Structure 1
Amino acid sequence: MSDNHELEGISLLKSERLAVLPIDSYDLTEELSILDGHEYGGEYDTFTFGSWSSHVLANGSGADSDVAFRPHDGSLSLTELGKKLPNIMSLVTGHFPLDRLQWVRVFALREGIIAPHVDFLEWAKPGTRLQVPLRTSEESLHSENDILYHIRRGEVWKIHSTDPHSARSTSGTARLSLCLDFADDGEPLEIRGTVAATEPIRVVERPEPADAELEELIASGAGLTLETMRAGFRPFAELHFERHAHATAAFDWYVQAARRSGDEDVVAKAQAFRTYCIEKRGEGEAFVW
């Protein structure tokens, strides 16, 4: 990758690396194993393919069953899982302001992908979402619009979550990423105890899609049915990570493919999934495949 291309990608990237934490000073090995074994209820399965899970360490109620993200006005309370992870929580309390912090979660992604989506569509005012990988590898990538990038372990990133974005990991070991959601009052977050960044932001170049491979993908829609549509979306999301294309292209290809089925219900469902992921959804609204 040329320096010019890397600089161009970085200049277009709206997500920001805010800081780097001294993550090696925290003994996380045992706690990451606890997260590996923690069960997930599947609340966000609509968006995810392969192995993705969300684990709540702190929220507004302290209840383990309180897992569906939403803004709240209350104070932050540890869940039972959070109480088992004191080193991870000390990473949070030692470096981040707590007055605006509303949710502490860890996202696990293994041999999986998240459908391109826009966060906070349900609420009038978006919050501030930070991610800090606790365990990751080169196979774990994020996307934003048409840009692909990698977040290294210990890097603190403010995710620009109101543009279409996605994530994928092809690794058999789960990427574990700390996700911190703050109420957005317009003030910048003061992150303490950071260390200097020693590596440049990593933007990943990928080739343009060939007409023949796009046609092959879209032609596969001839076999789509209402029963196979969910599993059938994954190759469209995957291609966005393999070829230079905007995140929303996955839905464009998918709707085109759905038309090849000749089934208007399949086409309507494909269009509805696009709307739900990147255009409009109500608070508590669930998409039913």
Structure 2
Amino acid sequence: MCLAPALLAVIALQVYPLANASLLSFREWSLTNSTEPGDFIGWANYAKVLADPVFWGAARTSLIITVCGVALQLVFGTGLAALLRKGRALHRTARAILLLPMVIAPVAAANIWRLMFNSRSGSVNAMLASVGVTGPEWLADPFWSIVAIIVVDTWQWTPFVMLVVSSAMLSIPQELVEAASVDGAGRWRAFRSVELPMLTGAFALVVTFRSLDSLLQLDTVYTLTQGGPGYSSYTLTYYLYALGLRNFEISSSAAGSWLFMIIVAVIIVMMFRLDRASREVSS
């Protein structure tokens, strides 16, 4: 009886929306033509989404943003964790300051960076001009708009990686590091040969969480570029948003959502296998 309210909440908030989206994906429904779902049309909506080049372009962009963003966050976060792991007051203050981007709402962070990336009055191009470099049209160029999204994502979530890796570093026995130093290993060699292999579990955790979060992000893309210019910075989440809430293709959006869910499920399975393999290596 105690589980009944929680079970009802799960059904209401999880099972019913998924089941409803599944049913809608097999019917014809565009809000521009009707306010009610139409006839059953089988797999036509799935075929329509899979035949849409914008969908595959969005998948490619999502993959680029996720891979590049997570890789940069892993490198910078690990580097900061290694530099600031000592308990000195200056290091503690620096860690506290570096955590600030993580607590800013993504929409607010994207708005700040949108002003900074303004090609005429933004501070980014102003800094580049001060050293004699002409800044690009950050948000009006297909390539640089994706770079801008990666920069914002990296700036905001590198502190998360630093936090996780710092916690993992505290669990490493210092006797091993000291033994490596006695054997003549320098600081970098001791970190590379002793500490780095023991951080694989933390790396797997970070890669899993950040990859999923990056794939699911909508607010940064919506605020920063709105998928532009053209469709160049469309991600899968923005594609589904535009399909359902801008073009009012409800059934096609439902089909695309299920395809996206399958992609995410495959990635989750791969991440769990990576985590298992990393644990076997570290043990």
TM-score bucket of the superposed structures, by smaller chain: under 0.3
TM-score, scaled to structure 2: 0.24
Q: Which has the higher helix share?
A: 2
Q: Which has the higher strand share?
A: 1
TM-score, scaled to structure 1: 0.23
